[in-house]
Amino acid sequence: MFPERSSVWPTRLLGDPYWIWSDLKRWDRTWRDPRNAAWSFWNDVRQADYLYRLVRQFRPSVVVETGVHFGKSSVVILAALQRNGRGRLVSIDLPTAASPDETGHLVPPELRGRWSLRLGDTRTHLPAALEGGVQFFFHDSEHTYEHQTFEYEVAWPALEPGGVFVSDDTNRSTAWAEFLERHRGAWRPLPDGPTSVRAVRKVG
Residue 145's pLDDT is: 97
Q: Mind listing the pLDDT tens digit of every residue in the chain (204 residues)?
A: 444 444 445 545 554 555 555 555 555 555 566 666 666 677 778 888 899 999 999 999 999 999 998 888 998 999 899 999 999 999 999 986 545 567 888 888 889 999 999 999 999 999 999 999 999 999 999 999 999 999 999 999 999 999 999 999 999 999 999 999 999 999 999 999 998 999 999 997
Which letter, b or e, does each residue of 167-195 get, where b requires 16 or more Cβ atoms within 10 Å of its Cβ?
bbbbebbebbeebbeebeeebeebeebee
Residue 149's pLDDT is: 98
Residue 115's pLDDT is: 97
Give first-to-last CA distance, the chain, whole Å.
20
The runs of H, that is alpha helices, within the chain are: 8-13, 17-25, 34-58, 72-84, 122-129, 145-158, 175-182
Which architecture, in CATH terms, is 8-202? 3-Layer(aba) Sandwich (3.40)
Residue 72's pLDDT is: 86
Q: Tell the burial category of 61 from Cβ atoms under 10 Å away from its Cβ (0-12, 13-18, 19+).
A: middle
Model pTM? 0.86
Residue 89's pLDDT is: 98
Q: Report yes or no: 148 and 172 within 8 Å, Cβ to Cβ.
A: yes
Residue 152's pLDDT is: 98
Residue 45's pLDDT is: 80
Task: Give pLDDT tens digits for 139-196.
Answer: 999 999 999 999 999 999 999 999 999 999 999 999 999 999 999 999 999 999 998 9
Give the span between the Cα atoms of 185 and 50, in whole angstroms: 24
Residue 100's pLDDT is: 57
Residue 196's pLDDT is: 92
